């Protein structure tokens, strides 16, 4: 299984490497107010991918924070009753099997 994973990683790497070699032409990306950026097509695609990942992660941060705080809140409430149950009155003798 380890060899299959390495083979898959190598195949992905060589596919992306071939893509980069086949797309070395310069392209212009036109922004607002007449500004433009001229770079290799591979760099433009990589920048667009990176920007998309960053926007996706930033969009998920509030959701992650909400879940973390809910889990922390739940953990605090779950641990409190257990601690109180240990210090509560002893169980009746019938429960102990005496």
Predicted confidence (pLDDT) per residue in 6-54, tens digit: 999 999 888 888 888 887 888 888 889 988 889 888 888 888 889 999 9
> Which residues fall within 8 angstroms of residue 44, CB to CB, at 6 or more apart?
27, 29, 37
pLDDT for residue 97: 57
Whether the CA torsion 62, 64, 67, 71 is positive or negative: it is negative
Which H or E run includes 23? none
Q: Which domain holds residue 9?
A: 2-81
Domain membership of residue 92 (yes or no) is no
Number of structural domains (the chain) is 1
Q: What would the pLDDT profile of 46-89 be if each residue is shown by its tens digit?
A: 888 899 999 999 999 999 899 888 888 888 887 655 555 555 55
* Verdict on whether the full-model pTM lies above 0.85: no
Domain membership of residue 22 (yes or no) is yes
pLDDT for residue 43: 86
CA proximity to 27, closest of 18, 14, 39:
39
């Amino acid at each position: 299984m380890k060899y299959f994973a390495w083979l898959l990683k190598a195949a992905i790497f060589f596919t992306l490497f071939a893509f980069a070699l086949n797309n070395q032409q310069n392209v212009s990306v036109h922004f607002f107010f007449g500004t433009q950026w001229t770079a290799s097509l591979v760099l433009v695609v990589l920048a667009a991918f990176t920007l998309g990942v960053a926007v996706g992660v930033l969009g998920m941060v509030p959701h992650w924070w909400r879940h973390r705080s809910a889990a922390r809140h739940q953990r605090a409430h779950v641990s409190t009753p257990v601690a109180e149950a240990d210090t509560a009155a002893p169980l009746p003798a019938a429960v102990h099997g005496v």
